[in-house]
Chains A and B, each alone.
Chain A
Amino acid sequence: MSDETLPVATALRHKDLLAISDMTPEEIRLVLDTAEAMKEIGSRTIKKVPALRGKTVVNLFFEPSTRTRTSFEIAEKRLSADTLNIAIASSSVVKGETLADTALTLEAMNPDMIVLRHSSSGAAHLLSRICKSSIINAGDGTHEHPTQALLDAYTIRSRKGGIAGLKVAIVGDLLHSRVLRSNVHLLTKLGAEVWVCGPPTLIPVDIARLGVKVTHRVDEAVEGADVIMLLRIQLERMQGAYFPSLREYFSVFGMTEARVKRAKDDVIIMHPGPMNRGVEIASEVADGPFSVILDQVANGVAVRMAVLYLLAGGVEHHEEAA
């Protein structure tokens, strides 16, 4: 079944983008469709449109991030927004200010949107309760990373023509992954068959309640898969005794060429980055013909442009209604 025949929303319902779990399938399709148009802008000679002219967007990053922050910043600039980057090293947090006070201080300068990356789950919700400006969650703790899931969905859709009915295998550290949670919500909402796989120590309790199939056998997860998505294994997890060694992890769960062969012939290999080559993914697979890892990065800009654009429209819409 193609997604294209299904209904599409005309606006987002909320002022913020906090979590995929809050979004309807129609809203998700609206973002993906809008991203198609945005993608075209990125291929022009002059990669800029005036959609967000006069809008102020603050990128508030409490965690180090290269790809997400860069991706948002490029997206904002292509839409002509005035952008401001605040990173933890230069922020007031080192002076002992609370997140709430930082948010209120920024809010007093009347920005239109705040893009937040924070190490605590729920930090974006806290900001959304305090601020009138639109909050975009760019990753909160181990909760969600909604724009990552949207760009993943965009990438899958552009390769496969749709999402419903696909078998998607997600392999790696599920417990500590915000990408996992956002992707599970999104992919199940759009009708994919989602398999998750990892050692039992790295799987959240009761994840099966979300309508995914759980396995510890990677061969079962990738068997006949249309999409294989790897999640990063953080090197410090070994200290927490989640698994014995990186070497053993790779031998049991690492995505090798031999394992990829069990998937469909036209399988795509995804990874949200940054990758640990030789841990969750073999270099031959990361660099191989099925890899769409760099497409994901490219699509990230278009998807984030779509989110910024729709939320900005939503704010105006809201003000007119009020």
Chain B
Amino acid sequence: MKKLLKGGRVVDPSTGRDGQFDVLIEGDRIAKIGKNLPIDGAEVVEIPAGYVIAPGLIDMHVHLREPGQEHKETVATGTMAAVAGGFTAVACMPNTTPINDNANVTSYIVAKAREANLARVYPIGAVSRGSKGELLADIAELREAGCVALSDDGWPVRTALMMRRALEYAGMFGMPVIDHCEDPSLRADGVAHEGCCAGLLGLKGIPAAAESIMAERDILLAELTGSAVHIAHMSARTSLRAVRKGKEAGIRVTSEVTPHHFTLTDDYLNAPIPYDTNTKMNPPLREVADRDSMIAGIADGSIDCIATDHAPHHYDEKKVEFDHAPFGIVGLETAVSLTFDRLVHAGVINMSRMVGLLSTNPARILNIPGGTLAEGALADITILAPDMTVRVAAASMKTRSKNMPFEGWELRGGVAATIVGGRTLFNNPDAGLTV
């Protein structure tokens, strides 16, 4: 089975390609890339002018909720949302029920992913047993079962000593430790960014320093141990300052930012819907200076990845008092459009950098296959339609939960098709091509 993608603009930072190339897919691999490749019995897909052929996008921070919270999401619904959002692979956080802190849970997730047979799923194992921050999880077993990184996401790694040990031990396997940076004493029972908006609305604040203190700590510990630390869902300009300083010093620190943190600010707490629980996330939506700083960090390369922190919650759980609602929003199916609209079309980054943020860099940080259109590589490909008009509608989303504040937004740029291992798993009916 051969398929020839003809006439698209190939953008692949891993090989330095950016231009008009044909892509020949044979089985689950990319067989050849070149100008005017012969058809040679392949099924030809004419790519419309302006469309971009990118290595499959990778979301290194999602919550698939299975096992244990299947009313919010499952591996099957989550990976269906992933391919609809242009992602050929996702890395899922371990805060399931039970926590993914042992090989049984990892194997269960891997089996569910195989059953669903959609986007590739790379589990992230817990740093500590039960993510309690007391004893290390069985990291070698987690790795053996398929985990590619470690995190106690949802909770920070509480003590500096535990973080040090985790970095040292995980470093032996070359696994990065991904930290949800938040000092619990400063965060206390806060529910929104500590700033003018939360103050006015009478919402308990989470200061930016709660995140940055721990980011600073983790970067120091990465320096101490020589291991790699990745700062999850960075939101505060003071954390970015710490990351920049760390990178300048040659410390192995990387970071990601979510689409909502480069798009929204805490003003959304009050308008258009006051106390909208779909504006409640952790880290919280920060103030304008922080949001702008995230954009600047994306532009200058200090930020390595865009990751969604896709956090599905049932509508019952969100239809409560702001104080009582769970943190988080879904993001898999809006990330590409927000990145196009807010970053690419706004002139912040070019197409190649977008692919770097969403594919090349996450593959490199997690040390997983993909993130490249090199000949012989897996045929994980996302075809992007930079000028497609996308109207965000929860009702048409594949994710089981619909919690997000972007309903009705009109954005420029979307996903035309998603190919995983040579199989077309998503074909946007609005894109005007059949892959």
| A interface residues, Cβ below 8 angstroms from B | 21, 98-100, 118, 120-123, 125-126, 129, 140-144, 178, 181, 204-207, 209-210
Which interface residue of A121, A143, A144 has the most chain B CB atoms within 10 A?
A: A121
Which residue of A126, A141, A206 contacts B202 across the interface (Cβ within 8 Å)? Answer: A141
Query: Are A141 and B323 neighbours in the complex by a CB distance under 8 Å?
Result: yes
* Docked CA distance A210–B197 (Å): 11
Q: Which residue of B lies closest to A121 (CB)?
A: B202
Query: Are B201 and A143 neighbours in the complex by a CB distance under 8 Å?
Result: yes
Known contacts A99-B321, A125-B275; can you find 5 more A-B pairs with CB under 8 A?
A: A99-B320, A120-B324, A121-B275, A121-B322, A142-B203
Contacts of A178 in B (CB 8 A): 202
Does B200 count as interface, using CB distance less than 8 angstroms? Answer: yes
Q: 25 interchain pairs (CB within 8 A)?
A: A100-B319, A120-B322, A120-B323, A120-B324, A121-B201, A121-B203, A122-B201, A122-B202, A122-B203, A122-B321, A123-B321, A125-B274, A126-B320, A129-B273, A140-B202, A143-B201, A204-B200, A205-B194, A205-B196, A205-B198, A205-B199, A206-B195, A206-B199, A209-B196, A210-B200
* Docked CA distance A185–B255 (Å): 41
Within 8 A of A (CB), among B295-342: 316, 319-324
Contacts of A140 in B (CB 8 A): 202
Report A183 CB to chain B, min CB distance, Å.
13
Contacts of B204 in A (CB 8 A): 142
Does B205 count as interface, using CB distance less than 8 angstroms? Answer: yes
Which residue of A21, A99, A100 contacts B200 across the interface (Cβ within 8 Å)? Answer: A21
Q: Which residue of A lies closest to B316 (CB)?
A: A98
Q: A121-B275, A125-B274, A181-B200 are in contact. Are A205 and B320 (CB under 8 A)?
A: no
Report A16 CB to chain B, min CB distance, Å.
11
Q: A125-B275, A143-B201 are in contact. Are A120 and B196 (CB under 8 A)?
A: no
* Docked CA distance A122–B196 (Å): 16
Q: Which residue of B lies closest to A207 (CB)?
A: B199
* Docked CA distance A206–B111 (Å): 51
Report A124 CB to chain B, min CB distance, Å.
9
Q: Which residue of B lies closest to A140 (CB)?
A: B202
Q: Which residue of A lies closest to B203 (CB)?
A: A121
Report A103 CB to chain B, min CB distance, Å.
11
Contacts of B196 in A (CB 8 A): 205-206, 209
* Docked CA distance A209–B323 (Å): 24
Q: Which residue of B lies closest to A19 (CB)?
A: B274
Report B198 CB to chain A, min CB distance, Å.
8
Contacts of B322 in A (CB 8 A): 120-122, 126
| B interface residues, Cβ below 8 angstroms from A | 194-196, 198-205, 273-275, 316, 319-324
Which residue of B199, B205, B275, B319 contacts A122 across the interface (Cβ within 8 Å)? Answer: B275
Contacts of B321 in A (CB 8 A): 99, 118, 120, 122-123, 126
Contacts of B198 in A (CB 8 A): 205
Which residue of B202, B274, B320 contacts A98 across the interface (Cβ within 8 Å)? Answer: B320
Q: Which residue of B lies closest to A184 (CB)?
A: B200
Report B335 CB to chain A, min CB distance, Å.
28
Report B192 CB to chain A, min CB distance, Å.
10
Contacts of B203 in A (CB 8 A): 121-122, 141-143
* Docked CA distance A161–B194 (Å): 38
Q: Which residue of B lies closest to A176 (CB)?
A: B202
* Docked CA distance A178–B324 (Å): 19
Which interface residue of A99, A142, A181, A206 has the most chain B CB atoms within 10 A?
A: A206
Report B130 CB to chain A, min CB distance, Å.
26
* Docked CA distance A118–B205 (Å): 19
* Docked CA distance A205–B194 (Å): 7
Q: Which residue of B lies closest to A208 (CB)?
A: B196
* Docked CA distance A120–B321 (Å): 6
Query: Are B275 and A126 neighbours in the complex by a CB distance under 8 Å?
Result: yes
Report A228 CB to chain B, min CB distance, Å.
23
Q: A120-B324, A122-B274 are in contact. Are A98 and B201 (CB under 8 A)?
A: no
* Docked CA distance A126–B278 (Å): 13
Query: Are B195 and A205 neighbours in the complex by a CB distance under 8 Å?
Result: yes
Query: Are B202 and A144 neighbours in the complex by a CB distance under 8 Å?
Result: yes
* Docked CA distance A204–B323 (Å): 18
Contacts of A206 in B (CB 8 A): 195-196, 199
Contacts of B319 in A (CB 8 A): 98, 100
Q: Which residue of B lies closest to A205 (CB)?
A: B199
Report A96 CB to chain B, min CB distance, Å.
12
Contacts of A204 in B (CB 8 A): 199-200
Report A166 CB to chain B, min CB distance, Å.
23
Report A94 CB to chain B, min CB distance, Å.
15
Which residue of B194, B195, B320, B323 contacts A121 across the interface (Cβ within 8 Å)? Answer: B323
* Docked CA distance A125–B205 (Å): 19
* Docked CA distance A123–B203 (Å): 12
* Docked CA distance A5–B323 (Å): 43
Which interface residue of B195, B201, B205, B319 has the most chain A CB atoms within 10 A?
A: B201
Report A125 CB to chain B, min CB distance, Å.
5
Which interface residue of A125, A140, A181, A207 has the most chain B CB atoms within 10 A?
A: A125
